[in-house]
Amino acid sequence: MINLEVPAKARALVNQAYQAAAEVFRPISRKYDRAEHAYPSELDMFAALLDGLNSSGEGGAGAAGVRRDEKAEKKSGNRNGANMNVALGTIEMCWGDVGLLLSMPRQGLGNAAIASVANEEQLARFGKIWAAMAITEPDCGSDSAAINTTARLDGDAYVLNGEKIFVTSGERADAVVVWATLDKSKGRAAIKSFVVEKGTPGFEVVRLEHKLGIRASDTAVLRFDNCRVPKENLLGTPEIDTKKGFAGVMQTFDNTRPLVAAMAVGVARAALEETARILAEAGVTVDYDKPAHHQHAAAATYLELESDYESAYLLTLESAWMADNRKPNSLQASMAKAKAGRSVVDITLRCVELAGALGYTEESLLEKWSRDAKILDIFEGTQQIQQLIVARRLLGKSSAELK
């Protein structure tokens, strides 16, 4: 059974992540919010640090993978491994700044896909690159099964054609993990992921998007025009198994959704701590020994928001713990993402309200966190999609039966 305390061996890592967030992220947070699309060069120092943590097997605030290991599955007892460490580290780093975390070299969502799906040879080749992940298309949003980007086998390469939008780190990353279909007529089962390295002919970064939040992170539109990718760059198996569906590429989400939930938890905690400080300066005391309805209205609201935060935090830890212990966590990953995504938007906006004029100005980071929060309820599957997935899992319905 999961132990809800931070694992002893992860405490040093959590402390390091917190120090980095407090000493590096927070001081430059507003700078790169204003300087949209400027690369935060201060983050280069973290690449070597995180590489060291990951190579030591401890994991960090980076992109771990959900891999099915038969030997590990036979071991008895609980374990807290890379997924738990990544979740805890991500919470701390996003307490500092979520946009800056998304800008860190070699920690892209594509790295999580590689870590989850790649074979050993591919892990050796792509393990050290910075990989973005390209799923969303102009005519394909939350329904990943509706992907129109095609991959056609031609000799020793796949030829990719299509356009991808809202690609986080799409310009800065060394490579992009692209979702494409081998055969549109065979539906979900034909969707595969391909590692496309920068500089590959036919691969173009069309433009960068101007955004509401996470402005430190670049978000790109990509185009693939007869882009030839070595067939060895297809992650997983090239076989189309209509019975299995696209479980191979969807396995990535078992890892990335808890990560996004952890990002949301970190932002929510930052907003709550800042609001608690502002309330205290205003003479409002939050008393945990009194019923909420016997306290100042602002204190009662704060208690409500804090309880929402706690539930999101616990769901996030549960999904990470299940991944470390080789338990199917698709349901829990979607529950964590849905709860944390909705909660962080509500918490940050209501914290802005509680802080009054101070919450709406740039004197505080509260207004920035409220802007950053919205994307955490959207990417890696919207709130509505997560609820649909949860309903399917609980009711035992297929995607065709429950739309």
> How far is Cα 393 from Cα 206, in angstroms, rounded to an integer?
38
Q: Which pLDDT does position 213 carry in this prediction?
A: 97
Q: Which pLDDT does position 377 carry in this prediction?
A: 97
Q: Among 235, 261, 278, where does a domain finish?
A: 235
Q: Provide the residue type at 265 as one letter.
A: V
| pTM, rounded to two decimals | 0.91
Indicate whether 54 pLDDT > 80: no
> Over the stretch 272-323, which tens digit does the pLDDT of each residue have?
999 999 999 999 999 999 999 999 999 999 999 999 999 999 999 999 999 8
> Over the stretch 148-190, which tens digit does the pLDDT of each residue have?
999 999 999 999 999 999 999 999 999 999 999 999 898 888 9
> How far is Cα 71 from Cα 73, in angstroms, rounded to an integer?
5
Three-class SS state of 374: helix
Give the active site residue among 137, 163, 367, 380. Answer: 380
Q: How confident is the model at residue 67 (pLDDT cuts 50, 70, 90)?
A: low
CB atoms within 10 A of CB 72: 13
CATH number of residue 167's parent domain: 2.40.110.10
149 and 227 both lie in a single domain: yes
Is pLDDT larger for residue 77 or for residue 254? 254
Structural domain contains residue 111? yes
Q: Which pLDDT does position 52 carry in this prediction?
A: 53
- Mean pLDDT of the residues in the chain: 89
> Over the stretch 341-355, which tens digit does the pLDDT of each residue have?
999 999 999 999 999
Structural domain contains residue 328? yes
Query: Minimum mean pLDDT among 18-32, 61-75, 342-356, 365-379: which range?
Result: 61-75
Q: Which pLDDT does position 50 carry in this prediction?
A: 61
Indicate whether 249 pLDDT > 60: no
Average pLDDT over residues 222-241: 93
140 and 18 both lie in a single domain: no
Q: Is 239 a known active-site residue? A: no
CATH number of residue 107's parent domain: 1.10.540.10
Indicate whether 137 pLDDT > 70: yes
Average pLDDT over residues 78-86: 83
Q: What is the extent of the structural domain holding 113?
A: 8-126
Q: What angle do CA 112, 115, 121 make, to 5 degrees?
A: 145
Q: Among 186, 213, 235, where does a domain finish?
A: 235
Indicate whether 402 pLDDT > 70: yes
122 and 137 both lie in a single domain: no
Structural domain contains residue 1? no
Q: For the CA atoms of 95, 97, 100, 102, what is the dihedral angle to 10 degrees?
A: 60
